[in-house]
Structure 1
Amino acid sequence: MRQLTALDAQFLNAESATTCAHVAGLAVLDPLGGVLDRATLAAVLLQRMHLSPVLGLRLSEVPLGLDHPYWEADPDFDLAHHLFEAEVAAPGGEYQLAEAVARIHARPLDRTRPLWEMHLLSGLSGGRVAVYTKVHHAAIDGVSGAETLAALLDLTPEPRVVEVAPPPVERGPSLAGKLYGAAVRTATQPLRALGSLARMSTELDAVPLAGALPGSRQIAKAARFVAGDRRARPEVPSLHVPRTPFNGPISAERRVSFGSVPLKDVKQVAKAHGLSVNDVVMGVCAGALRAWLVERDALPEEPLIAAVPVAVRGTTSAGSGRGSTNGRSDTGNADSTGGSGGARGAGGVVGNRIAAMVAPIATDVADPHERLRATGAAMRAAKRRFVASSSSWLHDVSALLPAPVARLALPAAFRLAGAAFPPINLIVSNVPGPQFPLYLCGARVLSYYPLSVLTDLTGGVNITCFSYDGMIDFGVVACPERLDDVWSLMRHLGAALEELLDE
């Protein structure tokens, strides 16, 4: 039976009046002279839903929140609750599309139904259409979200034939089974929390916020000695988080911007500096953030601290620390499947199987090439540490509190910590994608812009990118109270890459 892990449940618990914990993607399509309408999209969804189990599963709660919920098939599934259509305001440009998407992105998903929605947006200039899809982060992570969409896509304008499968029959446990499981896990929670705490202590100097505390490195070394772990650990750079306008309590409003840069240009810069594509992406983000902060006379003297989701695909445990990191030279990293706790079903994975790496990005360096080299060096140091460590702290932090306590305390804890002691300045994700065109219902996917989550704890801006068909597509989500002009940040991303192309 599929029960949510502590990390999966944390994405549910983090939601509040100002936080929605879903990940999303915006596909812009060219119908190629045809018509992409709701009926056509609905037919493809119904035919291929079995290829992605998350589309048919809903939450099955444990009474009084005594334990983490389960996944069960929705016996009353109705596509009308998940597939919507709307027309973007004239003239149908990128600003109007972004405004429409931001309004949808700010709305929470209905927890009584499978946790996803798809919106067909027409009225775009040039005869284009867009499809915005959001799925709760409790059910998927970044790459598995892209894989969920990929189940609907084709390699040619002619849709492939997919045999319709019977609906899933998976059911949650009985009420007695839920209560019995909750009782067992409540009784064993102290031991499991001690285990998580012991594992965390061995990597204390690499954990956000804790790593900036005096003595964290000495405590981590002592904990590893006691645990008999003699593996050498590269020291991580300072993780002291400077104050920026990005950090602090967020509102319920969202702003969205998006744009693309040529992948060949990023590879050119990477080759010239002996870096990976992902290092260049991080360097470009550092340049854009620096420029935005300089314009507002808000640039801190210290480098910003970014959290980078990391792929741990293919491991049996998120604690193994042997998944692929975000350093692949041709595609980047990123927030991916793999690791502990995800439940695999026919055609996909339900749940999160991710780790995270935290590193400074050199926003304090004025020269763009020196900034890139400094960011690349910090990323390489963080990767070496990630590979050498257990890399399970994200799961361990999530598992420290009993389910009922975490459910009640997490939103307030996030808001307090985000205001007083932010552990990071922002999240930057780079998701690798296919380098060939894809099609949806005969329409060609021109671009795919990923959009992610904002919380009080992780900052009021999130930058995510997806490499697709020769381009790197950036999606930026921001709270307008923390970042007042999301399109200027998008323009700075393009300008930061141009700086690096100039020798």
Structure 2
Amino acid sequence: MGQLTAVDTNFLDIESRRTLSHIGGLAILDTTLCDGGRLTRGDMVELIRERAHLAKPLRRRLAAVPFRLDRPYWEEDPNFDPGRHVHEVALPSPGDDLQLGAEVARIHERPLDRRRPLWELFLIQGLAGGRAAIYAKVHHACVDGVLAAELLAALLDLQPEAATPPAPTADRELRPELLPMLTRSVTRFALHPVRSAEALVRTAGHLDQLPVVGGMPGVREMSRAVRSVLGQRQPAPTGEQSPPPRTPFNAPISQHRAFAFGSLPLEDVKKVRRGLGVSVNDVVMAMCTGALRQWLIDHDALPDRPLVACVPVSMRRRAECGDGNALSAMFAPLPVHIADPAERFLAVRAAMVNVKRRFAVSHGSWFEEVSALMPSALSGLATRLAMQVAPALNPVNLLVSNVPGPQQPLYARGARVLAYYPASVISDATGGVNITVFSYDGNLDVGVIACPDLVPDTWNLVDYLRESLTELLKMVEAEESPVRV
């Protein structure tokens, strides 16, 4: 029996008709090694039936606490049937990338059924070149980015021949008994004011990191004072961070989604990393800065100051996190207003150094602390109110995420996974565009989810990411070129 964390529960609470909290991935498949040269829905149902015991999110559903006195629990679905979650669709000819992106967007914009385990899988036939695709989505309350990658690994093989999975154990996540559940809930509710006060003190030392809040009068001085009293390390001075500018994708989103995707050679990214002395994540941030600059120029919306990107950070290696979400976030300036590529890259690098230093001081714990401030009975209402005022506050401009993946090919019932494009969350609070990259088998696979009402030309962002990487490669080549006299 597992209980959702405060962060997990927040992902449930923010959902509305326009905002959905599932994440997903689009796998492109070469099916030539499958029996009969084709992957079928029956193959996928059988695969999940064989391996569902290796991944808890596949077979467990929500169990609510009466009167919402406490956060929900997970219980094993006694009627679990993979066939209810696996679907098959086919693209009309010619089955190109634009059609595939549109089909994935339609699937992604539909909510998951909370009466069942919170996931779905779609086998998509009819792709050009005789390929197929799998699009799977799972609720963010179940997994974070790292757990989603582990879930993918549990279902797939390292060779075309399917491995024999370990036998399931007899352990089951049973529905919590009502009386013990209520007793724990009442006790937790009674002690919540004390826990909230402790969390508030710990959080106060890091409020100056948060967009909007950090810029309020007196917050910076208060946070420094709290850190001093608690004996916490003070971050190095980094200067005043400007508030996020207004952009076309910072407005209330609709219920519709657009999805664009593409692959970049990971070796080119690593060449930039080595040549410019930065991390792969820094290269990703520089690429996004260049791509977003060009998109904003196209729309006559280039601001005179940096964008602010929310960058999720996995905390899974820092603590015993169990099955719940283990993540925090950094807030990174993207200097799209700088025209010169070299100067812009130096600004990205300096900004990321400062952001990482500040994050190291906080240990990233503020995200969990803020999520747990309100008692469960009130947290849903507070979260929904926060989402309603978010567009007016404009806390960040967009989400940018970088998830490491396996560097060897994976297989599904003999079908080789050629690429894996992630799809994530957009909201009024985080902006109408989300850029997520996933490193897989020698490529950096990019997935862009956007609100088409705000970002009608989503595919252009993928093209501009390629152009931005080319721009960075030229900088490396220029530095490596010998000086001629």
TM superposition score category, shorter chain reference: over 0.9
- Structure 1 counterpart of 2:407: 435
Q: CA deviation at 1:239?
A: 4.9
Aligned partner of 1:185: which letter? R
Q: Distance in 1 between matches of 2:205 and 2:236?
A: 13
Q: Distance in 1 between matches of 2:430 and 2:237?
A: 23
Q: Distance in 1 between matches of 2:437 and 2:92?
A: 26
1:27 and 2:27 correspond:
yes
- Structure 2 counterpart of 1:330: none
1:393-445 Cα offsets, whole Å, 9 max, x none, are 1111111111121212322321212x211211111000111112111110111
1:396 and 2:369 correspond:
yes
1:298 and 2:301 correspond:
yes
Q: Give 1:185's match in structure 2, choosing from 184, 188, 204.
A: 188
Q: Distance in 2 between matches of 1:433 and 1:363?
A: 28
Q: Give 1:413's match in structure 2, choosing from 371, 386, 402.
A: 386
- Structure 2 counterpart of 1:321: none
1:78-105 Cα offsets, whole Å, 9 max, x none, are 1122111111232100000001100000
Q: 1:168 to 1:57 in 2, by over 3 A?
A: farther
Q: Distance in 1 between matches of 2:376 and 2:124?
A: 39
- Structure 1 counterpart of 2:231: 228
Q: 1:223 to 1:466 in 2, by over 3 A?
A: same
1:276 and 2:279 correspond:
yes
Q: CA deviation at 1:235?
A: 3.4
Aligned partner of 2:371: which letter? S
Q: CA deviation at 1:226?
A: 2.2
1:113 and 2:116 correspond:
yes
Q: Distance in 1 between matches of 2:418 and 2:98?
A: 17
Aligned length: 471
Matches for 1:86-485 after TM superposition, within 5 Å: 86-166=89-169, 168-229=171-232, 231-236=233-238, 238-316=241-319, 342-343=321-322, 350-417=323-390, 419-485=391-457
Q: CA deviation at 1:483?
A: 1.2
Aligned partner of 2:441: which letter? D
Runs of 4+ in 1 over 3 A off after TM superposition: none
1:247-283 Cα offsets, whole Å, 9 max, x none, are 1211100000000111111111122211111101000
Q: CA deviation at 1:236?
A: 4.5
Aligned partner of 1:429: which letter? S
1:501 and 2:473 correspond:
yes
State the SS of the aligned residue for 1:252. Answer: coil
Q: CA deviation at 1:212?
A: 2.1
- Structure 1 counterpart of 2:56: 53
Is the Cα contact below 8 Å between 1:82 and 1:117 reproduced in 2? yes
Q: Distance in 2 between matches of 1:495 and 1:390?
A: 35
Q: Distance in 2 between matches of 1:128 and 1:70?
A: 40
Q: Distance in 1 between matches of 2:395 and 2:366?
A: 14
Q: Distance in 1 between matches of 2:231 and 2:436?
A: 39
Task: Name the TM-score, length of structure 2 as normaliser.
Answer: 0.94
Q: Distance in 2 between matches of 1:236 and 1:32?
A: 55
State the SS of the aligned residue for 2:143. Answer: coil
Q: CA deviation at 1:458?
A: 0.7
Is the Cα contact below 8 Å between 2:228 and 2:234 reproduced in 1? no
Aligned partner of 1:107: which letter? R
Q: Distance in 2 between matches of 1:79 and 1:399?
A: 34
Is the Cα contact below 8 Å between 2:45 and 2:83 reproduced in 1? no
Is the Cα contact below 8 Å between 1:261 and 1:471 reproduced in 2? yes
Q: Distance in 2 between matches of 1:131 and 1:35?
A: 13
Is the Cα contact below 8 Å between 1:48 and 1:164 reproduced in 2? no
Q: Percentage identity across aligned positions?
A: 50
Q: CA deviation at 1:234?
A: 2.2
Q: 1:115 to 1:239 in 2, by over 3 A?
A: farther
Please, which runs of 5 or more residues in structure 2 have no aligned partner? 479-485
Q: Give 1:39's match in structure 2, choosing from 29, 38, 42.
A: 42
1:363-393 Cα offsets, whole Å, 9 max, x none, are 1111122212211111111112212223211
Is the Cα contact below 8 Å between 1:207 and 1:393 reproduced in 2? no
Please, which runs of 5 or more residues in structure 1 have no aligned partner? 317-338, 344-349
State the SS of the aligned residue for 2:203. Answer: helix
Is the Cα contact below 8 Å between 2:60 and 2:117 reproduced in 1? yes
- Structure 2 counterpart of 1:66: 69
Q: Distance in 2 between matches of 1:182 and 1:24?
A: 32
Aligned partner of 1:473: which letter? D
Q: CA deviation at 1:167?
A: 6.6
Q: CA deviation at 1:168?
A: 4.7
Q: CA deviation at 1:315?
A: 2.2
Is the Cα contact below 8 Å between 1:239 and 1:359 reproduced in 2? no
1:317-351 Cα offsets, whole Å, 9 max, x none, are xxxxxxxxxxxxxxxxxxxxxx6xx43xxxxxx22
State the SS of the aligned residue for 2:302. Answer: coil
State the SS of the aligned residue for 2:2. Answer: coil
Q: Distance in 1 between matches of 2:238 and 2:370?
A: 19
Aligned partner of 2:396: which letter? I
RMSD: 1.4
